[in-house]
Amino acid sequence: MVLQKIRISFLSNFIIALMGFMLTFVGGIFGNWISLWLPAFICNVIGMIVLVIIGVWVLCQPLLSKKSEKMPSSSSMLIHILQSPEDADLDGSKTVGITESIILGLALSINNLAGGFDAGIIHLNIWVISSISGLFSYVCVGLFAFLGAKFAAQRLG
């Protein structure tokens, strides 16, 4: 395993978190909109189905990635970055720039659409849910980038 030592600036981290906020909010708006025409029971069933599909998809990823290693992959850039986030450093500069952070933020936040959709469909406050999503993204990316740089570099060389 190679230690990548790719740096994420505060601005890039903010952009990644902003993408998480925005995709959660868009999903929430759509879920809220759908719930205007459907009964609450149907909305809850739709929310449950969406979460189950995401769970099954996540659980099947190891099997799907083994198949994609055997066959040449024609997947999009976002899917490729989801599988290998270190490839978001498109120019090889060892820092994540603004364009790269937008792409990385989109790739890492695709699942936020479903979470926001579920929040909207059951009428949770999507501003609060989106803000929490963005805040946690900012804190986690920043914290683990710091911990990775500090401790992993010392232990792994």
Q: Do the domain assignments include residue 7?
A: no
User: What is the H or E stretch that residue 118 is in?
Assistant: helix 98-121
Q: Do the domain assignments include residue 5?
A: no
Q: Do the domain assignments include residue 44?
A: yes
pLDDT tens for each residue of 84-142: 656 666 666 667 778 888 888 887 788 888 889 888 988 899 999 999 999 999 999 88
Tell me the helix, strand and coil percentages in the chain, rounded to 5. Answer: 80, 5, 20
What pLDDT band is residue 12 in, cutting at 50, 70 and 90?
Answer: confident
The pLDDT value given to residue 78: 59
Q: For the chain, how many structural domains are there in total?
A: 1
Q: Do the domain assignments include residue 11?
A: no
In degrees, rounded to 5, the angle at the alpha carbon of residue 121 between the alpha carbons of residues 76 and 55 is: 45
**Residue 105, beta-bridge partner list:** none
Q: Do the domain assignments include residue 102?
A: yes
Higher-confidence position of 27 and 44: 27
pTM: 0.71
Residues spanned by the domain of 24: 18-151
Q: Do the domain assignments include residue 6?
A: no
Q: Do the domain assignments include residue 157?
A: no
